[in-house]
Amino acid sequence: MTGAVPSVIAIDGPAASGKGTIAQGVAQALGFHYLDSGSLYRLVALQALESGIPLGDEERLAAAAEALASAFVGERILLSGSDVTAAIRAPAVSAAASQVAVHPGVRRALLARQRAFCRPPGLVADGRDMGTVVFPDARLKVFVTASAEERARRRYKQLIEKGNPVILSSLLRDIQERDARDGGRTAAPLRAAADAVILDTTGMSIADSIGFVLQRYRALEAGGER
């Protein structure tokens, strides 16, 4: 993308692949805006849990997504004026978000919100359908992956460091189940875009992963091949 249209780097991948940390690092290095698209689905899930909306009720969930009173202020995430930055990361909300995200109506309701994050000088967006649905014309598309076992270990480490009691085998099962849901849903299933660069982060450091994306993007900007 050139001229008045901001560049977009779309970073997709399964749960705990490291895509969010990589996306944030790339955005910081380039001075771009950052979109954690998963936070929007978490907000809808939190709204549903607090309002008593069944996670299978697509119509009511889509309406909640359409009317979502959310705001992103620095690193804080607000819902109806309340700081829910920590609340949307709770295990129950994470599980609910995965169920909410399977509904086509919810995904349609959030599409414009996600695209509105694209502002100069550019955007780094992470999620599961950034390169395939939300930003199909992204300047660079990266699909981040890692083995399920590696991703479970990462999530285990994150949760233990935050003082959450978890069992590694349960996390692995949850990740495998989420992979199946994300990949098997009819609306925007998790998959790499045809023109995406595959980045397997198993055994890679965050710094090396961020460097990989930056090198690819800068090569494109310099006139190199995708």
Q: How do residues 100-134 score in pLDDT, each as one tens digit? A: 999 999 999 999 999 999 999 999 999 999 999 99
* Residue 116: Cβ within 10 Å count: 9
pLDDT band at 1 (very low <50, low <70, confident <90, very high): very low
Which neighbouring-strand residues pair with 199?
Answer: 144
- Model pTM score: 0.88
Please give the pLDDT value at position 3: 47
β-bridge partners, 83:
78
From CA 172, how far away is CA 152, in angstroms rounded?
5
Q: Which residues are CB-neighbours of 59 under 8 A, at least 6 positions away?
A: 105
Burial pattern 89-111, b for ≥16 Cβ within 10 A else e, equals: bbeebbebbbbbbbbebbbebbe
Domains annotated for the chain, with CATH where assigned, are: 1-32+121-218 (3.40.50.300), 38-120 (3.40.50.300)
> What angle is formed at CA 40 by the lines to CA 38 and CA 46, rounded to 5 degrees?
105
Measured CA distances, 138 to 41, 89, 168, 222, 225 (Å)? 21, 28, 36, 16, 15
The Cα 10–Cα 95 span in angstroms is 24
- Mean residue pLDDT of the chain comes to 92
Burial class, 78, CB count within 10 angstroms (exposed 0-12 / middle 13-18 / buried 19+): middle
